Amino acid sequence: MSKIRPDELDERLDANDAPFVLDIRPRKAFQSDHIDGSRNVPVYDELRAGNEDALRGRLGKIPQDRPVITVCKMGVVATRATSVLDDEGYDATTLAGGMSGWRGYRNGSLGYRLRSLLWRLF
């Protein structure tokens, strides 16, 4: 399962061939904070409970002609979404650390810098 670090995603968002950022968190969480340009398909609770059909039923909202980066709170449930999308033929990747990692990256937090070092080592 492939993952992308927040700093790598940030670089890709500025490119001409930017990926589609799929935020699967509940709508309220998305509305309070999200990555600019991301789209919300709120299937987090269903995927967390093991219901992959919730995402499969909404594939029409996700373009197949661009790489997809899945985002959740910490990156765990987004990994399930990435797996479903891979199974359906998408080029999908999970944002390492989810929105927590993204916020840490944007804020330059010590926690993010330590996690980033670990991600690069492993």
In terms of Cα–Cα distance, which of 110, 53, 101, 59 is closest to 76? 101
Percent of the chain past pLDDT 90, that is, above it, reads 78
AA identity, residue 97:
G
Percent of the chain past pLDDT 70, that is, above it, reads 87
CB atoms within 10 A of CB 57: 12
Amino acid 96: pLDDT: 92
Domains within the chain, CATH numbers bracketed: 3-121 (3.40.250.10)
pLDDT at position 10 over 80 = yes
Distance of alpha carbon 21 from alpha carbon 69, whole angstroms: 5
Q: Six-digit token pair at 4?
A: 């992308």
Average pLDDT, rounded, for the chain: 92
In terms of Cα–Cα distance, which of 37, 89, 38 is closest to 59? 89
